[in-house]
Structure 1
Amino acid sequence: MGFAFQMEEGKEEKIFCPPPHDFQKFLDDVILDFSIFSNFY
C-alpha cells in the first residue's frame, strides 16, 4: 500500500509506502492533527 501521484510526463511515482502498522499510526497522527486544527475554527 502506498500513495502515488501523476508526474507531468504521465508516469506514476511512489512517494510514500509505509508498512501497515506505520501507515495506521500515520493516519492516526493526521486525524489527530486535523481534530486539533479544526478546534481553532
Structure 2
Amino acid sequence: MCLAFAVVILATFIGSSFIAAISSQIAAKVHGSFLLNDANL
C-alpha cells in the first residue's frame, strides 16, 4: 500500500511537471509570435 501511494505521488509529480513544461513551451511560442507581430508593425 505504501509503495502504491509513492507511485501515485511520483506519477502526479511527473504528470504535473510534464504539463507545466508543455504549457510554458506553448506560452513561449505565443509570446514569440506576438513579438514578431509587434516587430512587423
TM-score with structure 2 setting the length: 0.53
Q: Distance between the aligned counterparts of 2:12 and 2:23, measured in 1?
A: 16
Number of aligned residue pairs: 24
Greater share of strand residues, 1 or 2? 1
Greater share of helix residues, 1 or 2? 2
Q: Match for residue 10 of structure 2?
A: 21
Q: Which runs of 5+ in 2 are unaligned?
A: 1-6, 31-41
Q: Match for residue 24 of structure 2?
A: 35
Q: Aligned-pair RMSD on alpha carbons?
A: 1.4
Structure of larger gyration radius? 2
Identity of aligned residues (%): 4
TM-score with structure 1 setting the length: 0.53
The runs of at least 4 aligned residues of structure 1 exceeding 6 Å deviation read none
Deviation at 1:27, TM superposition (A): 0.2
